[in-house]
Amino acid sequence: MRRQDVIVAAVALAGAAVAFGLTFRFTSTTPAAMMSGMGAEFFPRLVIGLIAILAVCVALGIGNPGMDKPAPIPGIVWITLGVMALYIVMLEVAGMWLASFAIMVGLGWLWGERNLVKLSALAAIMLLVVYGGFVKVLKGGFPAGLWS
């Protein structure tokens, strides 16, 4: 058994166990007399059972030739993820346009581009395209933040 396959199987089994537990919390508003056929929990439980079997297959290497240990995740991935999460929070505070401008410049800088003028110009052009395409043509709306 390879360590990474065991990790994958353990995560899948844990997820399946949680999902199975959640199926006991399904509550129906339909009167019992009107119910026919299988309950709402039957199909999800069937699939959860299948997931558990397949997770064991992965761990035991059945139909799974295995893989090399993945390289460690560079710190920049986690920082980028954090910046993105912060951006989504900021969408409702600073609004779509300001938050998006900031993240485009910020991510570009984070990924090695030091020319802030170029980054700002590109961010402005991109946001103008989005505004033209989605707001003017497709009549979509975006969070205005506290400015509204």
Partner 1 sequence: MEAFIAGMGAAFTPYILWLILAGTVLGIVVGALPGISGSTTTALLLPLTITMTPTAAVAFLGSIYCAANYGGSITAILINTPGDPSASATAYDGYPMARRGEAGRALGMSAFASAIGGIFSVLVLIVAAPLLARLAYQFGPPEYFALALFGLSMVAAVGGDSASKNLLAGASGVLLATIGLDLTTGVERFTFNVPALSDGLDFIPVLVGLFAVSELFERISQRHVKLEAIKLNALKLPTLADFRKCAKAIGLSSVLGTFIGALPALGATTAALISYNETKRWSKYKEEFGKGAIEGIAGPEAANNAAVGGAMVPTLALGIPGSTTTAIILAGLMIQGVRPGPHLFTEQPTLLYVVFGSMLACNLLYLVLGFGFAKAFARITLIPDAYLWPGVFILSVVGAYAPNQSIIDVWVMLAFGVVGFFFKRYGFSPAPLIMGLVLGKMVEETMKQSLLLFDQDWSQFFHRPVVVTLFAITVLGLAAPLISSAWRRRYPKVPPPTAR
Answer yes or no: are the C-beta atoms of 91 and 98 closer than 8 Å. no
Q: By CB under 8 A, is residue 148 in contact with partner 1?
A: no
Report, in Å, the least distance between residue 42 CB and partner 1.
9
Report, in Å, the least distance between residue 46 CB and partner 1.
9
Contact residues for 147 (Cβ-Cβ < 8 A; gap 6+): 94, 95, 98
Report, in Å, the least distance between residue 51 CB and partner 1.
5
Report, in Å, the least distance between residue 148 CB and partner 1.
13
Spell out, one character per residue from 46 to 65, where the chain touches partner 1: x when CB under 8 A holds, - when not: -xx-xx--xx-xx---xxxx
Nearest CB to partner 1, comparing residues 74 and 148: 74
Nearest CB to partner 1, comparing residues 48 and 94: 48
Ranges within 65-94 binding partner 1 (CB under 8 A): 65-67, 70, 73-74, 76-77, 80-81, 84-85, 87-88, 91-92
Q: By CB under 8 A, is residue 117 in contact with partner 1?
A: no
Torsion, CA 45, CA 51, CA 53, CA 54, rounded to 10? 160
- What is the rounded CA–CA span in Å between residue 129 and residue 43? 45
Q: By CB under 8 A, is residue 17 in contact with partner 1?
A: no
From candidates 3, 24, 27, 146, binder to partner 1 by CB under 8 A: 27
**Which of 11-19's residues contact partners 24+ apart within 8 Å by CB, and which partners?**
12/51, 12/52, 12/54, 12/55, 12/58, 13/52, 13/55, 13/56, 15/51, 16/48, 16/51, 16/52, 16/55, 19/44, 19/48
